[in-house]
């Protein structure tokens, strides 16, 4: 069937503008002005984005199955203790879906590429909040329960999520509403390849992760004596932490393709491995959180503050609305110059 369909051509790095170029990836690029249909068809040919897309698109359906089975298995809407887990499962469905969509449609134009990855960043920052909410209610070590840090943990995580999205979007296009002519906006795509932009993006995603995991790091690596919550779940948490640091290392270093440019264009480059490690780490995290939720339920219900709407669904809604607003703010200037040119022509 696919043999009857004309698939989009594949280009080398010298044939695409700088905004579409990836470090040490020399070939396998899709045309920079692909239609939406071309982008979808490219899922069925080998490009340097194909595995990036499928490594997040397929796990989305697995996580969605886990969400639905959890909701119906435990009647989560009737049990407020389950609400944090539902929020978390929603976040791990959304972030790989946003990523796969971003990689799919990012070759439509430079403007579309920026906006697609704005949504990708929003999905990741929402996932950081989902993790923080479950950690607050299920993972905190016993001796930190109801401490001042515990009480402010979720509000700070909401702020971190907003900061993460803002900083990541800024790393692509700079400050919004400071570029009002089309030429200046066209120059900004080059920012994403600069070292400063890359560093800002690493910080944007590393900081929320490190903050969210403060109670887990303490519980697994530092805590001694009573109140340290030593159980079999800690091993899963350690595996997840190891994969998370490997994921960050791959994202920051562009290994192995930096060692042999052109050798890993289609299979084996860092972003593909980064996606696989991220999904495996999320899977282990999900198992660990669910196990903590079940094993510690009676103790937490007795000693911890009850789950409230504001600390679970309320924080989630606030985060979603804030991130969508940030994405809109950063996206709007990419459309304003074109509108200004049309008015001038009239």
- Between 9 and 193, residue with greater pLDDT: 9
Alpha helix locations (H) across the chain? 36-41, 50-74, 83-105, 110-134, 148-173, 182-187, 195-212, 214-217, 233-253, 270-295, 297-303, 315-345
Rg (CA), the chain: 22
Report pLDDT for 3.
55
CA distances (Å), origin 267, targets 50, 52, 106, 296: 9, 10, 19, 42
pLDDT at residue 8 tops 60: yes
Q: How far apart are CA 286 and CA 273, in angstroms?
A: 20
CA 271 to centroid of chain Cα atoms:
13
Report pLDDT for 187.
45
As a whole number, the mean pLDDT across the chain is: 90
Terminal C-alpha separation, the chain = 47
Neighbours of 178 (CB within 10 A): 10
Report pLDDT for 133.
98
Q: How far apart are CA 84 and CA 313, in angstroms?
A: 8
Closest CA to 133 of 303, 316, 317, 292: 316
8 Å CB contact between 18 and 237? no
Interacting residues of 119 by C-beta distance below 8 A, sequence separation 6+: 98, 101, 102, 327
Report pLDDT for 177.
58
Report pLDDT for 4.
57
pLDDT at residue 105 tops 70: yes
Q: Which domains does the chain have, with CATH numbers?
A: 35-345 (1.20.1070)
Q: Is the dihedral of CA 255, 258, 263, 269 positive or negative?
A: positive
pLDDT at residue 107 tops 90: yes
pLDDT digits (tens, 9 = 90+) for 143-152: 999 999 999 9
- Between 188 and 216, residue with greater pLDDT: 216
Average pLDDT over residues 225-251: 93
pLDDT at residue 181 tops 80: no
Q: How far apart are CA 125 and CA 103, in angstroms?
A: 17
Number of residues that this document lists for the chain? 346
DSSP code of 19? Answer: G
């Amino acid at each position: 069937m696919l043999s009857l369909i004309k698939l989009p051509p594949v280009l080398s790095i010298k044939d695409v503008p700088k905004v579409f170029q990836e470090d040490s990836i020399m070939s396998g690029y899709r045309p920079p002005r692909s239609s939406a249909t071309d982008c979808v068809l490219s899922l069925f040919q080998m490009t340097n984005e194909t595995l990036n897309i499928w490594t997040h698109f397929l796990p989305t359906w697995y996580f969605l199955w886990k969400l639905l089975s959890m909701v119906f298995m435990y009647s989560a809407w009737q049990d407020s203790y389950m609400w944090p887990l539902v929020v978390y499962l929603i976040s791990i469905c959304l972030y790989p879906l946003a990523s796969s969509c971003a990689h799919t449609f990012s070759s439509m134009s430079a403007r579309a590429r920026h906006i697609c990855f704005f949504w990708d960043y929003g999905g990741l920052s929402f996932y950081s909040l989902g993790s923080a909410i479950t950690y607050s209610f299920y993972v905190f070590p016993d001796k930190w329960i109801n401490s001042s840090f515990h009480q402010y943990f979720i509000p700070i995580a909401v702020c971190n999520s907003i900061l993460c999205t803002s900083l990541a979007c800024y790393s692509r296009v700079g400050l919004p509403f400071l570029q009002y002519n089309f030429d200046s906006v066209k120059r900004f795509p080059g920012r994403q390849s600069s070292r400063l932009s890359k560093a800002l993006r690493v910080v944007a995603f590393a900081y929320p992760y490190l903050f969210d995991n403060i109670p887990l790091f303490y519980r697994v690596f530092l805590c001694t004596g009573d109140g340290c919550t030593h159980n079999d779940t800690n091993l899963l948490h350690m595996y997840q932490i190891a994969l998370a640091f490997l994921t960050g290392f791959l994202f920051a270093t562009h290994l192995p393709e930096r060692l042999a440019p052109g050798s890993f264009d289609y299979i084996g480059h860092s972003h593909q491995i980064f996606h696989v490690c991220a999904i495996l780490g999320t899977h282990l995290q999900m198992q660990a959180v669910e196990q903590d939720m079940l094993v510690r339920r009676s103790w937490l219900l007795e000693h911890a503050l009850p789950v409230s709407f504001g600390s679970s669904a309320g924080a989630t809604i606030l985060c979603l609305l804030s991130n969508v607003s940030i994405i809109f703010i950063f996206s709007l200037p990419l459309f304003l110059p074109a509108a200004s040119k049309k008015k001038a022509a009239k």
